[in-house]
């Protein structure tokens, strides 16, 4: 989704803005632009397409001199991805420029009102109303105009605003969209996420909804919505620059797949002390909980689907998984005895935030499992466990998913311990099994060197079916999503037992079927399904333990897994499927880290 950056200091702003925008590319975008103030004039440059085009157009920023500026990557919502619709937008009198991340819900009414008052609109965007409101309300007081304009807006917005009359100043405003201030020495920054800040500063101020701030090279002043100055703590950004770079890998996605053993270890290690799961940040009384509801979107939802099995098995509490985009409108049966678990890598997903708020309103306490420190979900949930995966840059999540699942396992053991649903010996052996996961994930990477060759065989396919039962089915959901989002091959996951109820009609000669056979309580059943699809001509690529000779002799091709504690197996099982999707996408020449139409952080509904 859209990304915004801003700089005010003594350097030329444009190159700093372009570098910052490059760091935000991973969020997904289709046009980009920057605006810089100099000599009481705002100069703007925008392009449809990639930031490389903007660098070319501005000669790497040298054509826009000036030391204060704002920049934007746009993921089109209102209006096509064109130069005109790209941000920054400027007021008719040229006095203001605005970048915006989010959606202005009442823009049609505002547009009508402003048009009647004689303001001329250049673009089809919702954002443009903001800049005309600034012009309308400006009577020599920049701050006052910011407050008046923002008070007219409904929806979600993180704004960066320039005024040609005050060339060393930027106002930023936050309402339901991420915005972080970077505190420098003689220079200050803002951005939608820390990846654009870490090259310059580790000191950050996180704005809350309704707050706005005034940035000059030497000061940052934050205000509450009434315009009263407030003091905000300065937080330290722990992510380092290398963590957000490719480090010799061809793609971020490959790097992040390979990082998983380390990421999972970083998630587990500090939380096991003397053989016990210690979750210091939690004081949930599990005896008051009669139901757990897990909600999230996309892969995070699928992590919830896989984690549900562990939670139910270990805690003996009913667990329901709900898509956040559905739950928020479902009039859900949730009360103060419900524990809501919210999963989100970014912590900024709009539907997940809305579902969380709706469930809290109904009395549920919410536990967030989040990767991005200080993100909205981390802040509004009642409890938060971080996944410690480090920055995830590829749009397709890998280590985000596996670390979410790992935290669900940690929580399941913590809750089971409290509830007394696990015998001591079993608890201890599961804690040991958890510690083995990083090693087993590494083995899953090492024991499948044939994946690039398999990708050459399967990459021409028009569609693929991923089948499995129980936990294998939950992993199939994520395996199919990985395949479709980066390779653009239609991929569908099916509970293997459901094939006969419809989908088998689609099986034809050479149809690829990826059969997940790692849950041995049901593999005999899945094997029957393999036989059925093979009888209709399907080509079966099975995923199983290397010593499972029955499956090896049945399938056309194999992916292997090391033996893993069955309850935790999904976190290892997904790894070869991520790698398969990666290599198929590579064969198909896809833009793996930035798949078309997708955004990393979906901050609009
Ligand atoms: O940041 P979140 O975990 O809340 O994001 C949820 C989904 O948008 C995300 O998992 C999406 O499905 C990914 N593209 C999957 O790879």
As a whole number of angstroms, the distance between CA 272 and CA 416 comes to 15
As a whole number of angstroms, the distance between CA 320 and CA 305 comes to 9
DSSP-derived 3-state class of residue 14: helix
Residues with CB under 6 A from ligand 1: 297-300, 344-346, 349, 352, 395-397, 400, 485, 598, 601-602
600 is catalytic: yes
Mutational test site, ligand 1, from 602, 604, 605, max ligand atoms within 8 Å of CB? 602
As a whole number of angstroms, the distance between CA 399 and CA 266 comes to 11
Distance 375 CA to ligand 1 centre (A): 15
pLDDT in tens, 269-325: 999 999 999 998 788 999 999 999 999 999 999 999 999 999 999 999 999 999 999
As a whole number of angstroms, the distance between CA 386 and CA 369 comes to 6
- pLDDT higher for 102 or 569? 569
pLDDT in tens, 456-491: 999 999 999 999 999 999 999 999 999 999 999 999
pLDDT of residue 600: 79
148 is catalytic: no
pLDDT in tens, 27-77: 778 899 999 999 999 999 999 988 999 999 999 999 999 999 999 999 877
As a whole number of angstroms, the distance between CA 462 and CA 198 comes to 42
Residues 6 or more apart whose Cβ sits within 8 Å of residue 273: none
Closest C-alpha to 5, from 141, 188, 202, 140: 188
Count CB neighbours of 509 within 10 A. Answer: 8
Residues 6 or more apart whose Cβ sits within 8 Å of residue 269: none
Distance 81 CA to ligand 1 centre (A): 23
Residues 311 and 319: beta-carbon distance below 8 Å: yes
As a whole number of angstroms, the distance between CA 471 and CA 517 comes to 10
As a whole number of angstroms, the distance between CA 577 and CA 544 comes to 12
Residue of 2, 55, 163, 569 marked catalytic: 2
- Closest residue by Cα to atom 16, ligand 1, is 396
pLDDT in tens, 221-250: 999 999 999 999 999 887 766 666 777 899
pLDDT at 253 over 90: yes
DSSP-derived 3-state class of residue 270: helix
pTM confidence score: 0.82
* Partner residues linked to 213 by β-bridges: 172, 222
pLDDT at 1 over 80: no
As a whole number of angstroms, the distance between CA 361 and CA 564 comes to 40
- The pLDDT > 90 percentage for the chain reads 83
Distance 600 CA to ligand 1 centre (A): 7
**Phi, psi at residue 156, to the nearest 5°?**
-120, 135
Count CB neighbours of 260 within 10 A. Answer: 27
pLDDT of residue 590: 95
Residues 29 and 86: beta-carbon distance below 8 Å: no
pLDDT in tens, 92-132: 999 999 999 988 999 999 999 999 999 999 999 999 999 99
């Amino acid at each position: 989704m859209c990304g915004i950056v801003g700089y005010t200091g003594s350097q030329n702003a444009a190159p700093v803005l372009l570098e910052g925008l490059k760091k935000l590319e991973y969020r997904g975008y289709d046009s980009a632009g920057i605006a810089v103030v100099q000599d009481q004039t705002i100069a703007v440059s925008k392009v449809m397409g990639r930031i490389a085009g903007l660098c070319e157009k501005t000669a790497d920023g040298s054509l826009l001199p000036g030391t204060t500026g704002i920049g934007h990557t746009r993921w089109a919502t209102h209006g096509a991805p064109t130069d005109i619709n790209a941000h920054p937008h400027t007021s008719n009198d040229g006095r203001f420029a605005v970048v915006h991340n989010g959606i202005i819900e009442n823009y049609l009414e505002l547009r009508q009102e402003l048009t009647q008052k004689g303001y001329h609109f250049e673009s089809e965007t919702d954002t443009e109303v903001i800049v005309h409101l600034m012009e309308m309300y400006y009577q020599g007081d920049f701050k006052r105009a910011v407050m008046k304009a923002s008070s007219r807006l409904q929806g979600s917005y993180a704004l960066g605003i320039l005024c040609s009359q005050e060339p060393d100043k930027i106002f930023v405003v936050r309402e339901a969209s991420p915005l972080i201030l970077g505190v420098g020495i003689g220079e200050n920054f803002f951005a939608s996420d820390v990846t654009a800040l870490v090259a310059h500063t580790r000191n950050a101020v996180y704005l809350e909804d309704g707050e706005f701030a005034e940035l000059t090279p030497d000061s940052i002043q934050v205000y509450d919505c009434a315009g009263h100055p407030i003091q905000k703590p300065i937080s330290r950004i722990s992510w380092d620059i290398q963590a957000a770079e490719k480090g010799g890998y061809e793609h971020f996605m490959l790097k992040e797949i390979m990082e998983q053993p380390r990421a999972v270890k970083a998630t587990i290690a500090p939380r096991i002390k003397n053989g016990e799961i210690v979750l210091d940040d939690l004081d949930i009384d599990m005896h008051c909980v009669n139901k757990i509801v897990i909600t999230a979107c996309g892969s995070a939802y699928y992590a919830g689907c896989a984690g549900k099995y562990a939670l139910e098995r270990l805690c003996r509490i009913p667990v329901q998984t709900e898509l956040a985009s559905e739950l928020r409108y479902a009039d859900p049966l949730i009360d103060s005895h419900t524990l809501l678990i919210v999963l989100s890598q970014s912590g900024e997903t709009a539907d997940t935030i809305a579902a969380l708020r709706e469930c809290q309103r109904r009395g549920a306490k919410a536990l967030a499992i989040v990767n991005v420190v200080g993100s909205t979900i981390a802040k509004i949930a009642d409890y938060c466990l971080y996944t410690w995966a480090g920055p995830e840059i590829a749009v397709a999540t890998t280590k985000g998913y596996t670390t979410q699942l790992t935290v669900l396992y940690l929580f399941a053991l913590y809750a089971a311990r409290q509830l007394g649903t696990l015998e001591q010996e079993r608890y201890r052996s599961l804690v040991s099994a958890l510690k083995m996961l990083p090693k087993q994930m590494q083995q899953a990477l090492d024991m499948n060197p044939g994946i690039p060759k398999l990708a050459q065989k399967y990459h021409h396919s028009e569609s693929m079916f991923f089948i499995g039962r129980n936990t294998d089915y939950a992993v199939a959901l994520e395996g199919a999503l990985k395949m479709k989002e980066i390779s653009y091959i239609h991929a569908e996951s099916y509970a293997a037992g459901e094939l006969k109820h419809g989908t088998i009609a689609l099986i034809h000669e050479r149809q690829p079927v990826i059969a997940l056979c790692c849950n041995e309580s049901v593999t005999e059943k899945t094997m029957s399904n393999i036989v059925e699809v093979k009888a209709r001509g399907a080509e079966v690529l099975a995923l199983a333990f290397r010593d499972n000779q029955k499956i090896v002799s049945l399938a056309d091709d194999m992916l292997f897994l090391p033996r893993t504690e069955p309850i935790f197996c999904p976190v290892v099982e997904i790894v070869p499927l991520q790698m398969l999707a990666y290599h198929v996408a590579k064969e198909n020449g896809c833009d793996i880290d930035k798949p078309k139409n997708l955004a990393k952080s979906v901050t609009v509904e």
